[in-house]
Structure 1
Amino acid sequence: MFSFVQRFQNVSNQAFSMGIVMVVFIMASSYYQLINNNAFSVPSNIDNVKTLINVRTSRYFGSQRGKAKENMKIKFDLNTDLTPLFNWNTKQVFVYLTAEYNSTEKITSEVTFWDKIIKSKDDAVIDVNDLRSKYSIWDIEDGKFEGKDLVFKLHWNVQPWVGLLTYGETVGNYTLTVENKNKV
């Protein structure tokens, strides 16, 4: 007959194997639900973006050796319904608004202006007007935003209870050319 250790090892191996199979099934079925709910084509409306530019000399705002840097915040309107991102395996959804622009050396920079953690499907509809950005940004290279085209996009990250993180972005963006007159 088998010893106690061999029986325990056999039972624990069976339980571990079944646990792995269950985790793979949960991951696959929740990803399939996201595809079925059209989560990768959620529309968003980013509108009425206004820039607020300050010139700062503090090192906390990107200045080096007392040389002034332009710091930009924005005000924006956002309307989107993120309920298709929620299913039985969704713990929370991390949503963030970014802007892409070409820097002086033709390198594309992407910066985050605003983010939010949505913990339930009831809070998944976002409809805000004149919301001020959470973060102030500055350009590392030349420190000037004048004349740059910023393309705003809303990204999301589904954080599941079990499985891998799923990333994506909503359909719809907003392009803004920064003008000199918006300095505060």
Structure 2
Amino acid sequence: MFSLSQRFQTVSNTAVTVGLFLAAFIIGTSWFQLVSNHAFDLSSSISNVTPKINVRTSRYYGSVNGKAKENAKVSFDLEADLTKLFNWNTKQVFTYLTAEYENVKHTRQNEVTFWDKIITSKDDAVLNLTDAQSKYHVWDVQEKLTGKDLKLKLHWNIQPWVGPLVYGETDGTFTLSIPEREKTEKKAKESESAESSSPN
């Protein structure tokens, strides 16, 4: 006769084995669905990106010891269909718009996030944004962010009911060149002077 503890251990081992098998089955089938639906080949359209540069002296905006720090936000248009990321194992999808740019020494790529969104339903997975405003102020480790070329792209992250997170990005980028702030201010002043001196 088996003791009570032996029976409990046998039942527990069986339950764990079955649970692991079910988890592996769910992860495998949901991954197969993503691949067969070409979820890793989704496209997006990013356009009409307009930067807005402010100078901040607060440490909440990256400033150190009150030293001026350039902060950037953007407005943008975005179109993307993320419905193929949803299957029976998708709890929600986290999507976010990033910008990549080279550091001062051109030795690595820096990445910042301007905007993000949590999508909990397949019905809300079609994005069609016009003149959307970025959610976050971003800044560089250096004092200035102007004068850099930013490559914007849309990423996604599937948070499943069972299994690890699944990461990916859409095809489609937008390169934004942020002009030097001094040049922008000079052009604005020249434009104002030309308008004031022109005859009515």
TM-score (normalizing by structure 1): 0.95
Q: CA deviation at 1:4?
A: 2.4
DSSP-derived class of the 1:18 partner: helix
DSSP-derived class of the 2:55 partner: strand
Separation in 2, partners of 1:8, 1:59: 58
DSSP-derived class of the 1:20 partner: helix
Matched, 1:96 2:119: no
Q: What residue in structure 1 maps to residue 164 of structure 2? A: 164
How many residues are aligned here?
183
Q: What residue in structure 1 maps to residue 136 of structure 2? A: 135
Q: Is the 8 A contact 1:80 1:127 kept in 2?
A: yes
Q: CA deviation at 1:59?
A: 1.4
DSSP-derived class of the 1:48 partner: strand
After TM superposition, list the pairs within 5 Å mapping 1:4-83 onto structure 2: 4-83=4-83
Percent identity between matched residues is 59
What amino acid sits opposite 1:31 in the alignment?
Answer: W
Counting helix residues as a fraction of each chain, which structure ranks higher?
2
Q: CA deviation at 1:182?
A: 7.8
Change (3 A) 1:182 1:18: farther
Q: Is the 8 A contact 1:51 1:182 kept in 2?
A: no
Separation in 2, partners of 1:146, 1:41: 32
Separation in 2, partners of 1:59, 1:22: 49
Q: 1:4-26, CA deviations, whole angstroms, 9 ceiling, x for partnerless residues? A: 22222212211111111110111
Separation in 2, partners of 1:2, 1:96: 56
Q: What residue in structure 1 maps to residue 193 of structure 2? A: none
DSSP-derived class of the 1:29 partner: helix
Q: CA deviation at 1:128?
A: 0.5
In our comparison, the structure showing a higher alpha carbon Rg is 2
Point out where structure 1 has 5 or more consecutive residues left out of the alignment: none
Change (3 A) 1:47 1:182: farther
- Using CA pairs below 8 Å that are at least 6 residues apart, which structure has the higher relative contact order? 1
Separation in 1, partners of 2:73, 2:169: 22
What amino acid sits opposite 1:16 in the alignment?
Answer: V
DSSP-derived class of the 1:172 partner: strand
Separation in 2, partners of 1:48, 1:16: 53
Point out where structure 2 has 5 or more consecutive residues left out of the alignment: 189-200
Q: 1:106-141, CA deviations, whole angstroms, 9 ceiling, x for partnerless residues? A: 131100000000001000001001111000011112
Separation in 1, partners of 2:71, 2:32: 42
Q: CA deviation at 1:3?
A: 2.2
DSSP-derived class of the 1:55 partner: strand
Separation in 1, partners of 2:82, 2:185: 32
Q: What residue in structure 2 maps to residue 124 of structure 1? A: 125
| Alpha-carbon RMSD | 1.5
TM-score (normalizing by structure 2): 0.88
What amino acid sits opposite 2:54 in the alignment?
Answer: N
